[in-house]
Structures are given as C-alpha cells and as structure tokens.
Amino acid sequence: MRLTVDGQEREVTPRAGQVLRTLLREAGVTSVKKGCDAGDCGACTVLLDGDPVHSCLVPAHRAEGREVVTAAGLGSPDDPHPVQEAFLAAGGYQCGFCTAGYVVTASALDDAQREDLPRALKGNLCRCTGYRAIRDAIEGVASTEAGALPGRSARPPAGARVVTGREEYTLDGPPPGAGAGPEPGEPRSTGGLLHLAVVTSPHAHARIRAIDARAALGMPGVVAVLTHADAPDTLYSTGRHEHRTDDPADTRMLDDVVRFRGQRVAAVVAESVAAAERARDAVVVDYEPLPAVFDVDAAREPGAPLLHADKPVANGIDGPERNVVAEWHAERGDVAAAEAAADAVVAGTWTTARVSHAALETHATRGWLDAEGRLVLRTSSQVPYLVRDELALLFDRDPATVRVFTARVGGGFGGKQELLTEDLVALAVLRTGRPVQWEFTREEEFRRAPLRHPMRVRVRASGTRAGVLTSLAVEQVMDTGAYGNHGRGVMYHSVHESVAAYRCDNVRVDACSVYTNNPPSGAFRGYGLGQVIFAIESAIDELARELGVDPVAFRRRNVIVPGDPVRVAELEPPSDIAYEGAHGAGQCLDLVEARLEATAGEDAVAAERLPEGWRVGEGVALAMIATIPPRGHRATARVRALDPSDPDDAGAPLYEVEVGTAEFGNGSTTVHAQLAAAALGTTPERIRIRQSDTGLGGYDTGAYGSTGTVVAGTAVHRAATRLAEQLAAGGAREAEADHDGLRRTVAFNVHGVRVAVDPASGEVRVLRSVQAADAGTVLNPEQLRGQVEGGAAQAFGSALTEEVVVRDGAVVNAAFRDYRLPKFGDLPDTEVLFADTSSGLGPLGAKSMSEAPYNPVAPALANAIRDAIGLRPTALPMRRDRIWRLANGIPEPPGVH
Amino acid sequence: MDLIEVGSVRVARTRDDLALGPGEHLLAGGTWLYSEPQRGVTGLVDLTGLGWDPVESLPGGGLRLAATCPIARLHELPAPPSAAALARECADALLMSWKIQAVATVGGNVCMALPAGAMTAFATALDGEAVIWRPDGGERREPVADLVRGPRTTTLRRGEVLRAIDLTGAALGARFAVRQLSLAPRGRSAALLVGRRDADGAVALTITGSTPRPRVLRFASPPEPDALAEAVADAGPWYDDVHGAPDWRAAMTARLAEQLRAELAGESGTTAGPSGAGDVPDAPGSSGADS
Ligand SMILES: Cc1cc2nc3c(=O)[nH]c(=O)nc-3n(C[C@@H](O)[C@@H](O)[C@H](O)COP(=O)(O)OP(=O)(O)OC[C@H]3O[C@@H](n4cnc5c(N)ncnc54)[C@H](O)[C@@H]3O)c2cc1C
Ligand code: FES
Ligand code: FES
C-alpha cells in the first residue's frame, strides 16, 4: 500500500496485525518512538491526515493512502516548527525521548485545548522533567540561551535535533548490514538484523530438568535457541560498579536454576521480533519446582528455601545459608544509655514500595561484529565501560576486542547501571555471527528490569528539651529479590548519609539485605538513601514535636556543620569525605523556611476556598548526599583543537572533546561543552563532543552517583585548561586529563511542602512545594532547576501513587496503565532555590545534583500530612486509601494491593 | 503493538462479512486490541468498514449511538444540556487521552466490560438498550446494565455483534450529576457514579468502577440520606484491583452517592465536575481537581 510520510510517498507492505508505529520504524522513520507500545505514553504520536494518533495503536492497514507527519516532518534543525522552537527555548526536555510525541501533540492543540493542558496532555508521559518545562514550552516561556558559558543556561548541544526528531537513540541508527555509515565498526556480520526474545520462568523457584528447543528451531525464521548449555559458566552480577567485587557474583547468564517469576530461561534468535516471540512458546522447558520464599523475615528463618546456598561467601554473599547478601551492625556511643537519659524517645517502623524507573526508552542493545572482528554493542547504558569490561571477562576476550557505545539514552535513573540486555545479545552475535538486537517491552521493564528496593526501616531517636538529638538507631531490612545486584551497595549507602547528616553521639545501625524469590531490586535514584531518609526524617520530625521544638529549628541545631566528621558509626572518621566550605545545610533550611513563611498568607487564602473538612499542614525534610560514590570513580577526557576547513564558518566546531559520560537527560554533555568552552575562551557551540564510546579509548566509570559534572566534568575542564595553556605556548594541539574522584564532599537538599488533606477521601493536594539545593557553583541554572524539578516529580510519584505490586513473586501491574506514573497536571510546581556555596572538589566549585533532589520529598510530604491530620503516615506510597484509613482509624486490611 | 499471531485482517463491508472464522475477532477502534498481546487472535474483522452513522436520531427525541461511534463524539452529542454534559464527563472519565478517544469506540468500551468502562456507566445511567446482531441474521435487545456481567464478561456469545446503543428521549431529558474518584489525579476510575433525576421525581443511581459490574439503585422519589446509604451498602461486592482496595471503594461510593443525592435534591440544574470535590479551587501549584 502507499502512504505519505513527512511529505515523501512510500510504498510499504504491512503485515496483518501490524501497527503504524512499527511500520514506520521498519521503513527507517525513527522519529517515532516507543515508550510502551500500548497507548499509554504518547511517545509514538504522529499526525494522521492532520489528527494526532498514538501510532502504536493504529492498525497499519488503516493508514493506506493517508498522510503521516512525524516530529521530523514538522520541522528541521534549520527550520523548526514554532512548537519545536518553543521546546528548545524552554528546555522542555531532558532525555528527550518523550519529546517527539510531545511536539507532535502540542502542534495539534487548539486554543480550547491549550486552556486545559492537563486534559490535552494526559496521554503524554514524561519521566524526566516534572512537566513544568513542558508547560513553559507550550505557553511560550523561554529560559535557555545559545552560546552560554558556565553560570548561564546553555542549551544542550543536541537540543535542536531532539526537538525535531533527528537525535539518534539506542535503536535509531540504520541497522548494521543495511548500509551503515563509515563510523568505526563497519559491520562484518553478514545477513540482516536478527531479533532476540526470551523464554521466561513461570515459577518463582525451580530447577530446569530439560529444555527441548527442537520444535522452536523448526519454526520459520528461527536461527538459534540459546540455553544454559550455551552460556558461559562465570558468575557475575547484573549490577555494575567500578569495583567488580562490589556486587555479589550470583548470576549466570542463563542458569539451570531459576529464582524468580519472569527470569530468563532461554533466548530465541530469529529473523524478526514476531518470529522470535512466536517460537518462544514452542520451547518446551521441564521444570522441577522448588519451594520459594517471598518475605524478608521468612527468608531468614531456619529451614527457609535458600536461593544461593550453592555459592561461597567469597562470591560476596555474607550469609548464603541465611539468604543474606549483606549485613552491617555497628554502634558508636551508647544508644540505650542515651535513651534512658533523654527527655523524649520516638520509635516507629516505615516501609517503602517497589518502584519502576520507568525511563521512557526501554532497555535495548544492538550488537554485531565489525571488520576487525570486534564485538560491537550499541546499548542503552549509563556505564558502557563497565559493560565492556564485564563482557570481556564473561566471554574471555581481550577488552580491546569489545566495543560498547551509547547513542543518546532515553532516561536512566539508575536502571541502566545494569547489564540486562548486552550479555545475551553478545552471546547471540558470537554464536550466529550476525547482527542481533534485543529491545525490552514495557512489560519486561516491569517484570525483569530491577525495581527500587523495598525497605522496612525501624528508627528510634531520642533527644533533650534543649533540642539536642542524643541518639539515633536505625534498623533497615531490604528485599533485594532473587539476585543481589546493588544489594550490597544500596544497603551500605542507605544508612550512610541518611544517618551521617546529624551530629549525634550515640548511633546504632543494623542493616540487612535479603534474598527472596521476588523480582530483583536494583539501583534507583538516591541509591537507598531515599527509603531510609523517609524514615529518619519522619522520626526527627516526630521527636522535635515531642520535645516541643520547631522541627526546622531542631534540624538546624543538629545537622552537621562544615568541619564535622561525615560518619555513621565509625569511631575513626573516614578520611576520604569531608563537609567543607560554606554551611549548605543551614542555608537550605533557611531558604525553605523563609519561603514557606512568605507564602503562608497566600496559601491560607487558597485553603479557605477548600471544601469543609480539608486540613492543611506543612512539612520539611532534609537530605544529605555524598558528591561521589566511595572508593573511586574515574574519568578521563581528551580535548583537541580542530582545523575547520572553513575558518569563517561560525558554526564549525573549533575543538573536540572525548569523554566517557553517556547522555540520558542528565545534562552532563551541556555542562561539559560549557566547561570546555570557558577554559578555551570560546562558546559551547564551537565544541564538538564525542562520548560514551569505549572505542574512543579513555575510561569512565560511568554516569551514576551523579558524577557527570564532578568527576567527568573535572576531567574535561582540566584537559581543556591544559590544552589552552599548550596552545598559548605554541605546544601540542591535544591534551588529556583524568580524575579519580577519591576525595568527596557532601551536598544537601531541603524540601518543604504545604498540603491539604481530605480525610474523607484520603486525597492529598500539594498547595506549595519548594526545594533548596546545595549544588555548589551553579553551572547551568535552568538545567539544574530541571534536575531538581525532575527529581522532586519522580519522588512525588513514589511518595503518593506509584507501586509495582508483587504477589507471590509475580508482578501484578506490568503496564503504565496500571502503575500511576504522574501525568501532566498531576504534580505541583516545585520552586527551586540555590544555596550560595562552592566546593573545592568540583569543576569551578560545582557539586553534584541529580539523584539528591529525590530524597527529601517523601518525608516532607509525610511530615506535612502528619501536621495536617495529627496522624503519621508510615508507608509509601501514601495512597489515598491509606491516608483515608489512617485519618479514620481503619486498620489496613491484609493483602491490599 | 504488533499482534504477532494475526494472519489476516478483513474489512467488513456487509453484515455477511461479520461471520467469524476460527480465531477471528471483531476489531472496532482497536485501542484495546492493539494495546496488549492477544493470545489466540489469528484474524481480525474490521467493523469500521460497515460505515455506520455514529449518531442517529430516533423517534421521540431518542438517539442511537452506533457501536463504532468514536468516544470523542460524546463531546458534541445532540442532546439536552444535562445529558450532553454527562456524555462529556463520562468520555473524560476514561484514562485514555483525547487522541485515543477519537479512535476508541463506544461499543468497544462497553464490550470490554471493564469496571472503569465509562461508556458502560453512561449507557446504563440513560437506561441504554443494546442492539445486538445475532450470527443467524436476527437481532436481540438487552439493557446495557444487563449486558455487562463482570470484568471482561458480557452476555455476548461468539459471533454476536453489538450494533448500537439506543437511548430514549425521556431518559435524555433527565437531570444528571456525576462523580468520579481514583487513586491518582486523572487516574483510572475507582468509582464512577451517575445520579439521575427524572421529571416525575424518580431518582436512579448508577454505580460503576467500584463494583465488578454496573449496579443501578432506583428510587421512586428522592431518597433520604439513610435510605440511600442503606441501599449503597448493599450494592457490593466491591471490586478489588490495583486501582482501589474494596474497603476504600465501598466508602468512597457511599460518600459520592450522598453527594449526588444532595445535588439532585437541590434545585440547581448544573452538574458538577466529575471530581469528588468538584468545587475545590486550584491553589497555586495544586494538582488540580480530578477529571
Ligand atoms: C491508554 C488506554 C486507556 C484506557 N482506559 C480505559 C479506561 O479508563 N476505562 C476502560 O474501561 N477502558 C480503558 N481502556 C481499554 C478499552 O476499554 C479502550 O481501549 C476502548 O474502550 C476499546 O474500544 P475500541 O473501540 O478501541 O475496541 P477494540 O480494541 O477494537 O475492541 C475491544 C474488544 O471489544 C470487542 N468489540 C469491539 N466492538 C465490538 C462490537 N461492536 N461488538 C462485539 N464486540 C466488539 C473486540 O472484539 C475486542 O475484544 C483503555 C485503553 C487504552 C489503550
Ligand atoms: S508507544 Fe504508543 S503510546 Fe506509548
Ligand atoms: S524528557 Fe521526557 S521522558 Fe525524558
């Protein structure tokens, strides 16, 4: 059939049952994205004869003879559509994966729809921005500028391409073998692109007796079926860190024991996604079911089914015989004595839910062999170098024969600090010799990609009427699921800066990370801190109330000040981390308190118009975070002067930066261009950045722990400064620098909210939301504001509505439709204030700030709800039904979703 | 998403084309069919090729909504103001975007028989009658309230096709009020209630969302709060899924029912927004009212 796409006539042959989205993408129209493939996210929106449609729901046959316009057809970088210009000017995107759908939808709104944007945009999800910047774009507010140096709001270098649907994401390049460009890695693989789909376990725990793939192998298009018999024996972890031993070696690429429902059992490799998926059902697996355990307490009982008893402690598992991945017990001072002497002691138990990162781009990898026989992987990763190193180890190859790179990545939030798709793709490429691709479905994201660790946190805190915190005891138990990826690191981190934030002479921590037959948990923005901060900041609030001290004043009195040791229970304060410079914590508390005071009158007027029965309350919470993960985070950068062929071309790049950091909406690339430009006396537009490609050489631990600015940024700035010096002295035209990130400092975030609560329904409405951030020197104000807003938005979601519900080890709600991700209009605007601080450890005085804004939001909300209704919510999410039960004295029924 | 088992799509042009072969299923808007993997669906028969008029007038001021009428058409229904407002609010009570409303059909939503099926609520509140084509060429009629038996279950037998939903002029002339509540702003309905008051004073309360299937409570005259509360308390069992726990759904249904009673007992002819707290102001930075 014929149709017109972006002005071009096309002849296509749709398959029966195909949708317009895949028809377009298979035809090379990659300005159409996929966030869900189910109508929920809007990333696939195109105009069909002028009307916006979710192309993932449009039967392809209905597009016959019609005209399709995608984001790329609306405008181009040189001639953008007004809506695209507005998104660029307002910085209405971070990763930009939602943007193509957004600009198409926004281009089709009439005036009446613009009057009611929450209705008009409820079908377009954005995980990164928190929506304020998108609203600004649609309302024509501009806040970014071209050519801006550090301290001003430069645009992301890729901005014009993002808003016009041109920027390539993981699967947007032409497939290798289909005339891929001359970029390094010209494919040697022969034959077309193969696709991979996995057979998964219906059992929470089982031994595989046998796998019969004969029928599947006989099906049309099937090229290979890979099982544990084909996979390397080496144990590893999907969680990736600078030090491989940070995570337990408890995972086999394909195992003959499965430990959670949905675990991969075999990989089918076929000529098309459909062929692979169809053949999946034909793989016959004979399971011997084993007893399973889903509860962190039951899992530690004697006689509980053991998940990894076959592995030694040396693999990084503290107690394989008790399902314990890691545990830590320590005390400094004497908590019991302090409690006995205190004027008040508070105690409570707080719980948090599983949360999906919900990055709009699902995990995906495309792999092939290049002309030199190197294994090349193009993947959606935050840590391409760590992926390379681990794959080299697993396949026993020289790392030089493995190249891993990323294009722009559609969101991360910690979820892409994992090796989830790369390993099987590598296996399939090496086995078949052909290019292979694996793209997670949204359902797989919910069932197989790690989720935020659910935790149970008991806190006891005591203090004196003078307002002194005299003891703090934290007992944390977390469900790491069937595998321990990040199960150690998250545990240690969760009780670190959360506890260390306060000066307190008597501290005890008991933390335990437990295996169960639930789907694995993993790294999530905040890396465990948010869960424990929810508990501690709630307890601190309660203690202050008990003592009759204002909660903000209590924090001011007890938070650490510059020069204090940053420690938990260690007697000898650690030497690698120090609170230096100005008192960011104090400033943040002051800023938020002042802002809440200043808006009290205005909010009281608004609150008077609430119906009878609604109650208003105010809450504040504080969060501290280390600017870099412990024990080293390395980055190298190379900067070279170019020789533009036409020196008069004002758009031609003058310098090229090579750096390892992936860009997934973290904005590091923008900052790197600004830093290099400042050092070299030019503007960011004249800097070309090549990044996140192990093929460039160099090294980068990866974009996690909010290190894009403070570690890689420092390396870039140093290299650029060095080059400037060399050039001035007539020296070499290329310079290199690195940074080991061994010395660390801390940064603070304080969040304040004013809420209205309806006890009759449990609805919580946020009247005011303000966050102060101690980010050191602000290199790009709008971008930083966006990071804080986005972090707060994600936190509002997990605080109020989001939960991945798991019953007997099975995910119940594996679709956006059933998950309650905040939509446009669901969220309050968060006003962002910056403390006036500077760090000697970051480039030009900057601190890191991308995970941290997430952490103080849930406790601030809980404290405000407590203030409003006199009762304290202790479980996340603080869903309407829970608040309703709390307010009305109704017990929580067992087994509520 | 691509439906990988589908091997054929037939566009129906006549009623005869609706005879289904093995594995064949009816395709209306396709917004649900293409939103989930469809095991065992090997063929589709596209109803939209039949060219049914989305909205037709019936004698006595009634309306016939074709099963294939796009949900978006409910924003401009040629009906008296209160019924027209009800139609708009029900359309927007669905989780789907306006872009999907333009494609999804009234009949498709009713045939899905989901508790959060706002088209089922709409049709039930109006005493809508389903017109069903039988595979033998005949036709049968059944109130929509009875057609929907429970989540994903209707009385439709294989081969039967929902042709239309007929609404009478009398029903369209009644006064309506709506309340919707969910666990999130603009979320999937945990409860969607429609109150209706007829010219003769009779009151009917349609409960959807919180119950597995629509429940209609009828009163010859406006009920007292106690009588209503008692009737609502008996309207369970209450639906249990990730969009709301049964205890909360029961309590919210009671609360919203009482709000509807009070509103319909009043003289005001307006319908409130579909929110549990329709008149709550949007404070600065507020999350706004449910809709
Ligand atoms: C983003 C999104 C949000 C959604 N939100 C909601 C919601 O809030 N509440 C809710 O109830 N549903 C919701 N749905 C699901 C579903 O109800 C809608 O997709 C829509 O109403 C289905 O209508 P359709 O015309 O697209 O049906 P289709 O997808 O074409 O068909 C749906 C089913 O009905 C059958 N069918 C359709 N028409 C007829 C007919 N005339 N006679 C007999 N059988 C027929 C089909 O065979 C199929 O089994 C949502 C779906 C999406 C994608
Ligand atoms: S991909 Fe189509 S709506 Fe998400
Ligand atoms: S920018 Fe919207 S999803 Fe990333």
pLDDT digits (tens, 9 = 90+) for A580-594: 999 999 999 999 999
Please check whether residue A666 is in contact with residue A850, taking contact to mean a CB–CB distance below 8 angstroms: yes
CB-based contact, B251 to chain A, within 8 Å: yes
Query: Which H or E run contains A597?
Result: helix A584-608
Q: DSSP code of A713? A: I
Task: For residue A742, give both structure tokens.
Answer: 């061994």
Q: Is the dihedral of CA A791, A794, A799, A805 positive or negative?
A: negative
DSSP summary character for residue A20: H
Establish whether residue B94 lines the binding site of ligand 1, counting it when its CB lies within 6 angstroms of any ligand atom.
yes
Name every protein residue with a CB atom under 6 angstroms from any ligand 2 atom: A 34-37, 39-44, 54, 56
Of all ligands present, the nearest one to the C-alpha of A409 is 3
Write out pLDDT tens, residues A598-629: 999 999 999 999 999 999 999 999 999 999 99
Ligand 1 pocket residue status of B108, Cβ below 6 Å:
yes
Q: Which residue has the tokens 């400033």?
A: A587
Which of A13, A54, A116 best probes binding to B when mutated, by most B CB atoms within 10 angstroms? Answer: A54
Banded model confidence at residue A177, pLDDT cuts 50, 70, 90:
low
Q: Is the dihedral of CA A183, A189, A193, A198 positive or negative?
A: negative
C-beta of residue A851 within 8 angstroms of C-beta of residue A607:
no
Going through A436-533 in order, the beta strands assigned E by DSSP cover 436-439, 451-452, 455-463, 469-481, 506-515, 521-522
CA-based nearest residue to A227, from A283, A290, A307, A288: A283
Q: What is the pLDDT of residue A646?
A: 77
Kindly list the distances between the CA atom of residue A19 and the CA atoms of A117, A560, A642, B32, B108, in Å, as whole numbers in the listed order: 28, 57, 46, 13, 18
* Interface touch A829/B97, C-beta < 8 Å: no
Distances (CA, A) of A202 to A206, A261, A285, A439, B128: 9, 5, 10, 21, 43
Atom 3, ligand 2: which residue's CA is nearest? A39
Distance of CA A548 to the CA centre of its chain: 39
Of all protein residues, the one whose alpha carbon is nearest to atom 39 of ligand 1 is: B108
Looking at residue A651, its pLDDT comes to 80
B35 lines ligand 1 (CB under 6 A): yes
- Residue A707: pLDDT band by 50, 70, 90 thresholds? confident
Beta bridge pairs of residue A8: A5
* Mean pLDDT of all residues in A155-181: 84
ipTM: 0.95
- Return the residue matching tokens 């003058």: A654
For residue B19, what are its two tokens? 């005879």
The amino acid at residue A545 is: R
Does the pLDDT value for residue A327 go beyond 60? yes
Residue A705 is predicted with a pLDDT of 79
How many Å apart are CA A320 and CA A311, to the nearest integer? 7
Token code pair at residue B203: 């009151």
Report the distance separating Cα A735 and Cα A598, nearest Å: 50
User: b/e per residue, A37-69, with b = 16+ CB within 10 A?
Assistant: bbbbbbbbbbbbeeebbbbbbbbbbbbeebbbb
β-strand partners of B195: B177, B205
SS (H, E, C) A681-712: CCCHHHEEEEECEHHHCCCECCCCCCCHHHHH
Inform me whether the C-beta atom of residue B28 falls under 8 Å from chain A C-beta atoms.
no
Residue B284 touches chain A, beta carbons under 8 Å: yes
Cβ neighbours of B95 in A, within 8 Å: 817
Could you tell me the pTM of the whole model? 0.96
Comparing CA positions, the residue from B140, B147, B99 lying closest to residue B119 is B147
- State chain A's mean pLDDT as an integer: 95
Distances (CA, A) of A614 to A759, B88, B277: 7, 28, 10
Q: Which helix (H) or strand (E) holds A668?
A: helix A668-680
How many C-beta atoms lie closer than 10 Å to residue A152's C-beta?
15
Q: Please give the interface size between A and B, counted as residue pairs whose CB atoms are below 8 Å apart.
A: 197
Residues A623-641: tens digit of each pLDDT = 999 999 998 899 999 999 9
Which has the closest alpha carbon to B190: B207, B167, B165, B173? B207
Among residues of chain A, what percentage have pLDDT more than 70?
Answer: 98
- Is the link from the previous residue into B237 a cis peptide, with omega within 30 of 0? yes
Which ligand is located closest to the Cα atom of residue A361? 3
pLDDT at A402 over 90: yes
Contact, A231 vs A474, CB < 8 A?
A: no
* Cβ-contact A122, B291 below 8 angstroms: no
Question: What are the beta bridge partners of residue A451?
Answer: A521
**What pLDDT is attached to residue B285?**
36
Kindly tell me if the per-residue pLDDT of A773 is higher than 80.
Answer: yes
Structure tokens at B11: 């566009």
For residues A541-551, b (16+ Cβ closer than 10 Å) or e, as one string?
Answer: bbbbbbbebeb
Q: What is the 3-state secondary structure (H, E, C) of chain B?
A: CCCCCCCEEEECCCHHHHCCCCCEEEECCCCCHHHCCCCCCCEEEEHHHHCCCCEEEEHHHEEEEECCCEHHHHHHCCCCHHHHHHHHHHHHHCCCCHHHHCCCEHHHHHHHCCCCCHHHHHHHHCCCEEEEECCCCCEEEEEHHHHEEECCEECCCCCCEEEEEEECHHHHCCEEEEEEECCCCCCCCCEEEEEEECCCCCEEEEEECCCCCCEEEEECCCCCHHHHHHHHHCCCCCCCECCECHHHHHHHHHHHHHHHHHHHHCCCCCCCCCCCCCCCCCCCCCCCCCC
Task: Kindly list the residues from chain B whose CB atom is less than 8 angstroms away from the CB atom of residue A800.
Answer: 184
B113 Cβ inside 6 Å of ligand 1: no
Chain B residue whose CA is closest to A883: B248
**Secondary structure (DSSP) of A379-438:** E--S-HHHHHHHHHHHTT--GGGEEEE-S--S--TTTTSB-SSHHHHHHHHHHHSS-EEE
Amino acid, res. B180: Q
Separation of CA A43 and ligand 3 centre (Å): 9
pLDDT for residue A805 is more than 60 = yes
Show the tokens assigned to A349. 């138990």
Quick check: CB of A156 below 6 Å from ligand 3? Answer: no
Residue in chain B lying closest to A807 (CA): B242
Gap between the terminal Cα atoms of chain B: 28
Distance (Å) from the alpha carbon of B134 to chain A's nearest alpha carbon: 26
CA A872 to chain centre: 29
Report the run of H or E that residue A736 belongs to, with start and end: strand A734-739
Q: How far is CA A539 from the centre of its chain?
A: 27
Report CA(B189)–ligand 1 centroid distance (Å): 15
Which site among A219, A278, A765, A811 would you substitute to test the B interface, given the most B Cβ atoms closer than 10 Å to its Cβ?
A765
Residue A165: what pLDDT? Answer: 98
Which of A95, A132, A416 gets mutated to test ligand 3 (max ligand atoms within 8 A of its CB)? A95
Dihedral (C-alpha) A180, A183, A188, A191: value to the nearest 10 degrees? -10
CB neighbour list of residue A267: distance below 8 Å, 6 or more residues apart: A196, A197, A198, A199, A224, A225, A226, A254, A424, A427, A428
Tell me: pLDDT of A779 over 80: yes
Which residues of chain B fall below pLDDT 50? 267-291
Where would I find the beta strands (DSSP E) of A440-567?
451-452, 455-463, 469-481, 506-515, 521-522
Atom in ligand 3 nearest the alpha carbon of residue A102: 2
| Eight-state DSSP code of residue A322 | G
B227 contacts chain A (CB < 8 A): no
* pLDDT recorded at residue B278: 38
User: With an 8 Å Cβ cutoff, are B98 and A896 in contact?
Assistant: no
CA neighbours within 13 Å on the CB side: how many for A705? 28
CA–CA distance, A882 with A894 (Å, rounded to integer):
12
Chain B residues closer than 8 Å to A53 by CB: 99, 102-103
Look-up of token digits 């009195």 = A557
Given a cut of 90, is residue A150 above it in pLDDT?
yes
Q: Indicate the residue type of A655.
A: Y
Whole-number Å distance, alpha carbon A130 to ligand 3 midpoint, is 9
User: What confidence category does residue A895 fall into, taking pLDDT thresholds of 50, 70 and 90?
Assistant: low
Q: Identity (one letter) of the amino acid at A327?
A: E
